[in-house]
C-alpha cells in the first residue's frame, strides 16, 4: 500500500519536474510563508527537501529566502545540500556567491 501511494505521488509530481524553470516566477512573501509552513509539517529533512524541490521547480528565490528556508532543516548536512541545490534557482546570484566566499 505504501509503495502504491509513493508511486501515485511520483506520477502526479513527475510532470512538474519535467518543466524547465526559467525563473519567470519569483516566490513572493505570501508564497514563502506557505512553503515554510508546508515544510515545517514534514517529519524529517528528506521530506522537507522533497517539498522545497517541488516548489523550486515552479519558482525562483532570492538569497535571503534561501537562508530562511535553510533554517527549517534540522541537520547541517541537509542545510548544506539545500544550499548547493538552490544555486540554480537563485535570482540574485551575486549575493549567493558572496556567501560562498565568506
pLDDT digits (tens, 9 = 90+) for 19-30: 445 677 999 999
23: left (phi over 0), alpha (psi -120 to 50) or beta: left
What would the pLDDT profile of 61-99 be if each residue is shown by its tens digit? 999 999 999 999 999 999 999 999 999 999 999 999 998
Coil, helix or strand at residue 79:
helix
Largest CA distance in the chain: 47
Distance from C-alpha of 58 to C-alpha of 27, rounded to nearest angstrom: 9
* Helix axes 29-40 and 63-70, enclosed angle (nearest 10): 20
- The whole-number pLDDT of residue 17 equals 46
Global pTM reads 0.76
Distance from C-alpha of 32 to C-alpha of 37, rounded to nearest angstrom: 9
Amino acid at each position: 500500500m505504501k509503495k502504491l501511494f509513493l508511486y501515485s505521488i511520483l506520477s502526479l509530481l513527475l510532470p512538474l519536474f519535467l518543466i524547465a524553470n526559467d525563473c519567470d516566477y519569483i516566490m513572493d512573501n505570501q508564497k514563502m510563508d506557505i512553503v515554510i509552513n508546508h515544510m515545517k509539517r514534514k517529519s524529517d529533512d528528506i521530506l522537507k527537501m522533497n517539498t522545497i524541490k517541488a516548489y523550486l521547480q515552479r519558482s525562483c528565490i532570492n538569497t535571503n529566502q534561501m537562508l530562511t528556508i535553510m533554517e527549517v532543516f534540522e541537520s547541517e548536512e541537509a542545510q548544506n545540500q539545500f544550499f548547493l541545490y538552490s544555486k540554480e534557482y537563485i535570482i540574485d546570484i551575486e549575493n549567493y556567491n558572496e556567501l560562498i566566499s565568506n
